[in-house]
Amino acid sequence: MRRECRGLLLLLLPASLGFTWEFLNPRPLEKEKQEEVIIKGTEKFVNRQYEEKFPLAAKLPETGWFSVDLKPYCNVNIFSDAGQTTPVKYPFMNLGKQVFYGVPFEIIFPEANENRTAIALASTYLLTNTLPDTIEVPVGRKSVVFYFLHTTYYTDPSGEQFYRINYDDGTSHTIKIIGRVHSGDWYHADTRIYTEDVHYVLVPAAKDSKTFHRNMHILQWKNPFPEKIVKSITFHSDRKAPMGIFIVAVTGHGG
């Protein structure tokens, strides 16, 4: 009996060794096929920002969109190396009018605003003694919803960050901004968020790149008082917290 088992083991051994080697060392795809698989796998994540829409945005008429003018309040440049820069950079961002998830945004050209393309708010890791921690931007109109295109640096849930909607009647509504809930980090792929009210936007990290991206996020906020005139929006960061905030564009809709 032992001789028979030993003989059977010897017959099976070469086949099992071959299977083990193939399992642990799979045959690599040809280079072209590998690139094709990676690009196809990435395309569905990139294309969704152009093909999908926030459900509310899809229902709103095209004529009601408006952009909140951030230009006078921008203090850094995140699209080129001119002017005041920070570690957060998107040199390959498509600028001007861009539509993400059915929402039109005005992305500021550096040369059109003295190399100031975003509002940056201070943190312990972002120009603590240079940047402000609070900026108020006038609006002066009604809106049923606001879409904030923003990004964050050293993204962390701690601290007291918020956006405050100030109404013309003296009341206000505060939107608490929590890192990794309302925005993922600008740099790290594993912090991208896709929820009902927060969608990621992918920005190429290299020229003509189809697989290598940095992140922005869109926060959707539905106004509980659409009948009120929104006087202004206050953006606030926590200078004693790690997370820095960058507001790139704000879009509203009159309903």
The pLDDT tens digits for 110-138 are 999 999 999 999 999 999 999 999 999 99
pLDDT band at 216 (very low <50, low <70, confident <90, very high): very high
The answer for 254, left when phi > 0, alpha when psi is -120 to 50, beta otherwise, is alpha
Least confident of 2-6, 37-41, 68-72, 246-250: 2-6
**Pick from 70, 216, 68, 76: nearest CA to 132:** 76
pLDDT band at 19 (very low <50, low <70, confident <90, very high): very low
With beta carbons less than 8 A apart as the criterion, state whether 132 and 245 touch. no
The predicted pLDDT at position 243 comes to 98
With beta carbons less than 8 A apart as the criterion, state whether 237 and 123 touch. yes
What percent of the chain clears pLDDT 90, i.e. is strictly above it? 80
DSSP-assigned beta bridge partners for residue 99: 104
CA distance 240 to 38: 41
With beta carbons less than 8 A apart as the criterion, state whether 156 and 241 touch. yes
pLDDT band at 20 (very low <50, low <70, confident <90, very high): very low
